[in-house]
A and B are shown apart, each in its own frame.
Chain A
Amino acid sequence: MNVSFGFSQTKDHIRATNEAVGQAIIGLRGMHADLAIIFTTIEFTHPLVLKTVNNLLGEIPILGCSSLGIITNKGIFKHGFAILLIGLSQQMFFNVASVRDINKKTALLAGRELGEKLLYGYKTVRRNLSIIFSDGLISEGTSLINGLQENLGRSFPLIGALASDNFTFQKTFQYFNKELLSESCCGVLFGGGINFSLGIKHGWKPLGKVRCVNKSEGNVVKEIDGRPAVKLYEDYLAKDTLELSEELRRISIFYPLGIYLPGEKEYLLRNIISIKDDGSLVTQGDIPQDSKIRLMIGTKDSCLEAAAESCEDAERNLMGQKAKFVMVFDSASRFSLLGRQCVKELEIIKETFGEETPLVGIYTYGELAPLQSISYLGHSHFHNQSIGVLAVGGQ
């Protein structure tokens, strides 16, 4: 596997694309590239960017999405264009696909369709890993995963991210070949024995009593402990519904809900997107009925500790192989919470994998990844506020 990385933060998006792709091509030292993964900040999301990449690289598959910032070995950038060129060995395979209009189709159907498309041509080949980039404004992340899993298998390792914009929550973008998409989802399915490992952690700790979700439908939690769900926040934060609504995003970052998963060290986090008139809480992923939940609390230190654990997990599970490249899906909420200290997260990643290992990452509005536990091995979940570290070691 050949990997090369290019990045530019030049103001002009076409010049930036030229510079970054140029760097990546030089880095390949004449070797071929089969797949390009591109990440850009929101002001670089322009069809001409894709056209420029195509002009420079020829007709190779392109995948990617927008982000509020780009994480690289050189730092965290609020403006820029990043490209990762991957050249695969003959024993490795991949297939790319996309699905549009998630909101019209519903996340479940979109996931199902994408799964089906990704499987195309994989009847006789062992499939290993799928990387998914989805619109960041969908509210049913779990349904998307469920749809994908219906075709790819329940315990198939799905890794991915929900694209972000610059905290305006207006529009996120996905790149698929020559198309600049929105409200869409695209992905790649690798097969033929690719060695990879993953670490995903958040660092939030449970606080207060265990609560029971008595009534819920998908990502709408209606009742907790026999009372309207919003009462939980009203009690803990001593604020009424109106006050909570005004500060919901902040509150949701600092105090998300945590779903207890038997046998897991960490709870699965759920951000609150909105509060309904009947007191129901709309979360970014599903919370099944009868789930045991708790209010979670996080600090900058616990966030950084989680980043370190996530990196260690990814590094350890690569079984001694050196990572060819590292891809980081870091929650936008963590970026908000950590503020200036987000560079410490980058330092932790670099310390674990080495300064020279190609590193590219984005800030996400949701993360898709399996949990690292025996009982849930391979079973992907929809995460919030987590840092997912994917280390790919080649064959």
Chain B
Amino acid sequence: MLNLMFIAICMVIASMGISLLFKMQRLKELEKRADALNASLEEMDEQAKLIIRTDIELNKTQEELDKKITGLSTLQQLSREISTTLEEKQIFKKIGKFYLEELGFEKSSALLWDNLTREFHLYLSIGYSESESLRIKDAVNTDKDYYLDLMHGGKTASSVFIPEGFLDKDKICQLFQANEFIICPITPKEGNQGFIFVGTQNIETRITEGEREIITILANQIGQSLDNARLFEKTWRSQQELEIKVEERTRQLTETMEELKKISKRKSDFISSVSHELRTPLTSIKGYAAILLAGKLGAIPDEIKERLAKINRHSDELVHMVNDLLDISRIESGKVNMHVETLELAPIVEKVADLLSEQFKAKNITFNMLIPEDCKKIMVDRSQIERVFINLIGNALKFTPENGSISVGVHCSNKTIQVDVKDTGFGIPQEAQEKIFEEFYRVDNTINQGVKGTGLGLTLVKHIIEAHRGNIWVTSKLGEGATFSFTLNCTE
């Protein structure tokens, strides 16, 4: 019985032992699992740390990117506005509160250095009262050397980075009432330079590299716009000055022209009246000389006859000169009525050549006429154009030595024909060619002294050609003859 009881107790103890063993084993397993769970929790926590650290970087990058995108888009709009402004103060007015806030700031000042007054002047003030703006201006002028150094060094100061030698951050923060700021030089190539300040009281803001870049771009843009505005101002002023000068000169010229017209008219009137006054006594002189020469008042000795013939000849020359003067005067004053008609050119030239044929023969000068088929007709006043040819061919005859030649050549282009009267005479010196058409001008040389002339023929020719809306000029080389060319309108 005892044995049985002992066996039973032993079995109970053994089963309890086994059960305890199992339980201990299970506990160990649970501990292991708990450890594994803890380990995986720790592992997850480590992963969470990694996630947060990555997230910080991502947030920073995204924030920077957001700021850049907003900043660039604002800068683009602002630049467009600024660049189209051509007045210095208006440039700063374009930087309004709206754009400033879009760039992430609510306070801004811009001051430009004036070399004449040796102080900074305020051009922009946003987020400050009038008294605050004044205080900022005064304080900047007190510390002007620091700001001038910053400007000349082209350095940008910010709450993140203060260049060496510049004012300390707290002083700037206090003056401009901002927690974060950027100060960037405005450096136009010409004229007054300065700086722009932008700042914020927002304590959550930290100035980023992107913001610094954007404000630098803005400051450069302002600088360029200032250059443009100043250049425009300068150009506009010079243009104004030029316009005033041109106006003044035009007025002077008009006055001179009027004066010249008056003088010219007086001269024409004078010549006209003098010529008229001369013609009457000349007619009498010539008449009486002719009566005396004809012996109507009795026979006169040969010596007196000879003198009378001279009087008669010189009177003729005088009459001729007076007539020329009268013609010039009439043409100048527009008193001559031009009877312009379509005429054949060749018969006119032939008629003149025929008129002078005796003189051609006397000097054995050959005369040639080269008129092409397609430019035979001209629009002229017959009597006037005959005088032109008489004068020009007559002159050529005078100055062409014996056995020479004279030619009249014609060529046309569009509705104009050019007539060249060419001779093989002595030629005209270069310096005389410009003056040759002036009244009473005669080339001063020995050849000319031997040739008679009034010095009015070419002037008359010039006037007639101009009255036909043509031009006349001479080309010549000494010893190689001269060519007088003139233009006339022709019909098709």
Contacts and interface: CB of A to CB of B under 8 A. Distances in A.
9 contacts: A169-B203, A170-B201, A207-B51, A236-B48, A238-B53, A251-B56, A253-B204, A297-B51, A297-B55
Most central of A208, A253, A295 by chain B CB within 10 Å: A208
Interface of A: 78, 166-170, 207-209, 235-238, 247, 249-251, 253-255, 295, 297, 336, 339-340
Interface string B14-56: 0000000000000000000000000001101100110111011
Closest 5 CB pairs of A and B: A208-B48, A167-B202, A168-B201, A209-B45, A207-B48
Interface of B: 41-42, 44-45, 48-49, 51-53, 55-56, 59, 63, 66, 70, 101, 106, 179, 201-206
Nearest to A239: B56
Main secondary structure of the interface of A (DSSP, over half): mixed
A297 B52 contact: yes
A339 B204 contact: no
Most central of B52, B55, B63 by chain A CB within 10 Å: B52
Most central of B44, B53, B201 by chain A CB within 10 Å: B201
Contacts of A166: 106, 201-202
Contacts of A169: 203
A167 B66 CA distance: 19
Contacts of B55: 254, 297
Contacts of B101: 78
Given A207-B51, A340-B66, A167 B204 contact: yes
A52 to B, nearest CB: 20
A98 B202 CA distance: 29
A235 B44 CA distance: 14
A250 B60 CA distance: 10
B430 to A, nearest CB: 80
A167 B201 contact: yes
A208 B56 contact: no
A78 B33 CA distance: 56
Contact of A168 (B44, B45, B179, B206): B179
B44 to A, nearest CB: 7
A168 B200 CA distance: 9
A166 B41 CA distance: 42
Contact of B52 (A78, A170, A253, A295): A295
Contacts of A170: 201
Contacts of A253: 204
Contacts of B41: 209
Given A169-B203, A236-B48, 7 more contacts: A166-B201, A236-B52, A237-B56, A238-B53, A336-B204, A339-B66, A340-B66
B49 A238 contact: yes
A250 B48 contact: no
A237 B203 contact: no
Contacts of B44: 208-209
Contact of B203 (A167, A238, A251): A167
A260 to B, nearest CB: 16
A296 to B, nearest CB: 10
Contacts of A236: 48-49, 52-53
A295 B45 CA distance: 11
A209 B63 CA distance: 28
Contacts of A168: 179, 201-203
Contacts of B45: 208-209
A334 B71 CA distance: 21
Contacts of A251: 56
